[in-house]
């Protein structure tokens, strides 16, 4: 069995799967709180710098395949129900999709990022899904 098959999200696969399970279980109030917190955090220069570091670390570490593997489960969780099942309809994502992606990607390369960067990228979930 390939390493990618056993650990599709890299060495942090167990943590990522746990986060996805807890994310799926968040209620409306918790989701709204995450989005509100993220909107405040994401406007800061510190967050923008952390986001840039994240992208750089993913690229330099060669974990693009693990990053891409996250898209399927995240899309399944974040797609809004669409009344029109036409294949031409655009996919609409839940507002929590962006903070969830940031947190998941930070978890994916947690072993390569400094603690402050991981905290900043996952901070929107502090009260709902503590990353530790």
- Specify whether the CB–CB gap between 120 and 41 falls below 8 A: yes
| One pLDDT digit (tens) per residue for the chain, 132 residues | 344 567 899 999 999 999 999 999 999 999 999 999 999 999 999 999 999 999 999 999 999 999 999 988 999 999 876 666 556 667 789 999 999 999 999 999 999 999 999 999 999 999 999 886
pTM: 0.88
Q: What separation, in Å, do the N-terminal and C-terminal C-alpha atoms of the chain show? A: 31
Distance from chain centroid for Cα 36: 16
Which regions of the chain does DSSP assign to beta strands (E)? none
Tokens representing residue 11 in the block: 């060495």
Contact 99, 50 (CB under 8 A): no
């Amino acid at each position: 069995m390939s390493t990618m098959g056993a650990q599709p999200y890299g060495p942090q696969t167990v943590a990522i799967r746990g986060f996805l399970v807890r994310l799926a279980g968040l209620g409306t109030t918790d989701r709204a709180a995450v989005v509100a917190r993220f909107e405040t955090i994401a406007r800061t220069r510190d967050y923008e710098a952390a986001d840039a570091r994240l992208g750089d670390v993913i690229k330099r570490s060669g974990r693009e395949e693990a990053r891409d593997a996250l898209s399927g489960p995240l899309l399944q969780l974040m797609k809004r129900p669409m009344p029109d099942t036409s294949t031409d309809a655009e996919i609409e994502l839940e507002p929590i999709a962006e903070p969830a992606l940031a947190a998941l990607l930070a978890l994916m390369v947690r072993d390569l990022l400094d603690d402050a960067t991981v905290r900043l990228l996952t901070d929107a979930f502090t009260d709902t899904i503590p990353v530790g």
